[in-house]
Amino acid sequence: MRMQKSAIALTVAAMAAGASLSASAETLTIATVNNGDMVRMQKLTDDFTSKNPGIDLEWVTLEENALRQKVTTDIATKGGQFDVMTIGTYEVPIWAERDWLVPLEGLGDDYDVDDILPAIRGGLSVDDKLYAAPFYGESSMVMYRKDLMEKAGLEMPEAPTWEFIGEAARAMTDKENEIYGICLRGKAGWGENMAFLTATANSFGARWFDMDWNPQFDSQPWADTLNFYVDLMNDAGPPGSSSNGFNENLTLFQNGQCGMWIDATVAASFVTNENDSKVADQVGFALAPDNGLGKRGNWLWAWSLAIPAGTEKEEAAKKFVAWATSKAYAELVASQEGWANVPPGTRTSLYENPEYQKVPFAAMTLASIQEADPTNPTVEEVPYVGVQFVAIPEFQGIATSVGQQFAAALAGQSSVEDALKNAQSLTERAMKKAGYPK
């Protein structure tokens, strides 16, 4: 009888302890983008929760434009919806200076902040303090079908010009068989078509603003940029390209419908993955194109994890950020899915790893990242920092509106001339309202 009572008491005690543990568990709400590397991370988080009992994870996964809008609104209004946010190189210095982000100190003795690539770390730091940890870093480069290039009688240079890209795209196009020589971003958005077009414009000698913050869309280099882009996409791009962003073009390329795709270096692991890509064994890589003016049309970016100031779960959030951006996480991905699928562009040690050096796109990714110079992004002098963006708070809204004008030109709803005229006037109004020059 006593034994039975003891057993019941032990059971009740265990249940109470379990209830207490459950009650004390913290749930981190994480906002992230629906890109492949983040989707993979969510599948691997059992590794984190098993090592950190008492911390549960809740995910809010969104398309790029929607994510940017949601996290910006939440942090600006102190909404407190998220404990960890996926943000980019553009937001970090602006938000850190407004004290909207928690400095990422105390990530653990084995985290090794100094191992983060200098170009990536610099963009995520203010006064040498890290405010976001890079989940993956990227530039942009040319991904192309070697078989279609050979069929066209051409050979891709390691460092092509835009003139060559135009020639090759038109030569590879076979619209009757739904093969298009080139796929480029057309979807309106400051981080969608304007990321591509701003970086491209740099190589054409264009710039957003002169040294007095006067918009430059009425300049010849911008006319050259947008005319080249629209003509090329009309001649050699897929139908409906004004609706295509990163994920739409990725699907087209994986399906074998793109001869070339100039976009984020992070896409390389997806287009060469034989489980997902029909052309995995035919993909080659080259640097983003130039026009002989000293600047290539490639950008610099990192999708990073940051902790909003004011969260009540800072310590738990730091544990998650440290886990997801650590050397150990890279090894976890490699053990599960191979080194080619490790999030790229973040750590020096990754590019020194002999196993990763065997990955066919590793060297070109690193070279592309090192080629970008956010402090000197254009041919002529500019008052701003940023390669595919201008690092001022007003840029996000202005560039989204400009992107809508350029998407309309691509869709044939307006002329290039009108799109540039509208971009010039709306940017002038916005900058005047914001009080520039300051």
**pLDDT tens, residue by residue, 82-136:** 999 999 999 999 999 999 999 999 999 899 999 999 999 999 999 999 999 999 9
| Sequence-ordered list of residues with C-beta below 8 angstroms from that of 45, at least 6 positions apart, any chain | 57
Asked if the model's pLDDT at residue 247 lies above 80, the reply is yes
pTM of the model: 0.88
Residue 24: pLDDT band (50, 70, 90) is: low
Asked if the model's pLDDT at residue 4 lies above 90, the reply is no
Q: What is the pLDDT of residue 405?
A: 98
With beta carbons less than 8 A apart as the criterion, state whether 58 and 28 touch.
yes
| Sequence-ordered list of residues with C-beta below 8 angstroms from that of 16, at least 6 positions apart, any chain | none
Return the closest-CA partner of residue 361 out of 261, 430, 294, 278: 261
**Percentage of the chain lying above the pLDDT 70 cut:** 95
Over residues 285-309, the mean pLDDT reads 97
Residue 51 tokens read as 């090592």
**Which amino acid type is present at position 305?**
L
Asked if the model's pLDDT at residue 355 lies above 70, the reply is yes
- First-to-last CA distance in the chain? 84
Q: What is the pLDDT of residue 3?
A: 41
Over residues 378-399, the mean pLDDT reads 96
Residue 23: pLDDT band (50, 70, 90) is: very low
Asked if the model's pLDDT at residue 406 lies above 80, the reply is yes
Among 61-70, 156-165, 390-399, which is the least confidently predicted range? 61-70
Over residues 239-262, the mean pLDDT reads 97
**Percentage of the chain lying above the pLDDT 90 cut:** 92
Over residues 273-299, the mean pLDDT reads 97
Q: What is the pLDDT of residue 419?
A: 98
**Distance (Å) of CA 348 to CA 5, 60, 120:** 61, 30, 11
Helix, strand, coil percentages (3-state) for the chain, rounded to 5, are 50, 15, 35
With beta carbons less than 8 A apart as the criterion, state whether 290 and 358 touch.
no
- pLDDT mean across residues, the chain: 93
Q: What is the pLDDT of residue 1?
A: 44
Bridge-based pairing of strands 301-306 and 84-87 is antiparallel
Q: Enumerate the β-bridge partners of residue 301.
A: 138
Q: What is the pLDDT of residue 430?
A: 98
